[in-house]
């Protein structure tokens, strides 16, 4: 049996061919209903992996525009009940009143960032421009890409979760959050790092998933200027990244990746990176 990991549960499986003839268990990624409440009022329910839920609550609040700054979150309580979890948040009166004015009822899913919106007008089709001047070498992108699997313990055990990683300009992975939902993983990362103002220091986001529109939207709100994904982007993701000044790299694999927009932040060598960075100041 694989070793147990937080966020995973054992389940019996039938293996073919079963050479040993023994019953076996596998570690399966947990997926549970998680309700987000603000000042006692229900706001959203999503399917998520029960890890880093405090960070999920803060990150979701920031990337959805409910909070403008981490300091507006006064407290978080995690309440487990009957197979579900409530992330009970206490926020400033000002933010709660604004939330009530624009309140929506959504039922989030692991694969969708639009589910539950009540009208087309609620879907943001543009992002505020992200203005950061820095350069990353292609080798740094490759270094982070190839190292990601070693920073995803739950993915190694279950094969069922996404990872959101924050990387230095040199391609060193500084933090990784995992979840069955790609946007949940990103929200956890934002919630984990925003209180430390990490995103004010140049770096790039690496996602194990595709680049969908909500990944670009959430990254833009967090002030992230460069996104690298292991899979493909969608057309709306490219359009949003292009309009927001965000460098979008997809299909990042060994010895190859594709830049879809704003490739000026990518350079071949360190010397070129320094020269481009100097010229752009």
What amino acid positions are annotated as catalytic residues?
112
Residue 212 burial (CB < 10 Å; 0-12/13-18/19+)? Answer: buried
Residue identified by tokens 């409440």 is 37
Q: 43-58 burial, b if ≥16 CB within 10 A, otherwise e?
A: bbbbbbbbbbbbbbbb
Helices (H) and strands (E) in the chain, counts: 8, 15
List Cβ neighbours of 26 (8 Å cut-off, separation of 6 or more). Answer: 1, 2, 10, 11, 12, 13
Distances, alpha carbon 273 to alpha carbons 59, 201, 281, in Å: 32, 17, 13
Q: What are the start-end ranges of the H helices in the chain?
A: 53-63, 93-101, 138-147, 153-158, 182-193, 213-222, 235-243, 270-280
Residue 90, SS3 per DSSP: strand
Q: 144-181 burial, b if ≥16 CB within 10 A, otherwise e?
A: bbebbeebbbbbebbebbbbbbbbbbebebebbbbbbb
Strands 247-253 and 226-229: parallel
């Amino acid at each position: 049996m694989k070793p147990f990991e937080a966020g995973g549960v054992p389940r019996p499986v039938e293996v073919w061919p079963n050479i040993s003839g023994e019953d076996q268990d596998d570690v399966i990624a947990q997926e549970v209903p998680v309700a987000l409440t603000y000042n006692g009022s229900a706001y959203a329910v999503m399917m998520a992996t029960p890890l880093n839920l405090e960070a999920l609550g803060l990150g979701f609040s920031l990337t959805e525009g409910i909070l403008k700054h981490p300091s507006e979150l006064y407290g978080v309580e995690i309440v487990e009940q009957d197979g579900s979890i409530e992330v009970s948040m206490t926020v400033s009166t000002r933010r709660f009143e604004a939330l009530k004015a624009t309140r929506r009822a959504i039922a989030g899913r692991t694969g969708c960032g639009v589910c539950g919106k009540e009208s087309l007008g609620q879907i943001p089709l543009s992002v505020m421009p992200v203005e950061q001047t820095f350069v990353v070498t292609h080798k740094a992108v490759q270094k982070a890409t190839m190292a990601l699997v070693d920073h995803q313990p739950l993915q190694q055990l279950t094969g069922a979760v996404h990872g959101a990683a924050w990387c230095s300009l040199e391609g060193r992975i500084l933090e990784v959050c995992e979840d069955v939902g790609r946007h949940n993983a990103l929200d956890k990362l934002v919630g984990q790092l925003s209180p430390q103002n990490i995103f004010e220091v140049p770096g790039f986001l690496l996602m194990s998933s595709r680049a969908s529109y909500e990944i670009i939207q959430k990254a833009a709100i967090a002030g992230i200027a460069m996104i690298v994904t292991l899979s493909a982007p969608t057309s709306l993701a490219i359009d949003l990244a292009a309009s927001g000044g965000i460098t979008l790299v997809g299909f990042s694999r060994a010895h190859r990746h594709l830049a879809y927009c704003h490739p000026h932040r990518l350079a071949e060598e360190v010397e070129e990176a320094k020269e481009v960075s100097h010229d752009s100041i």
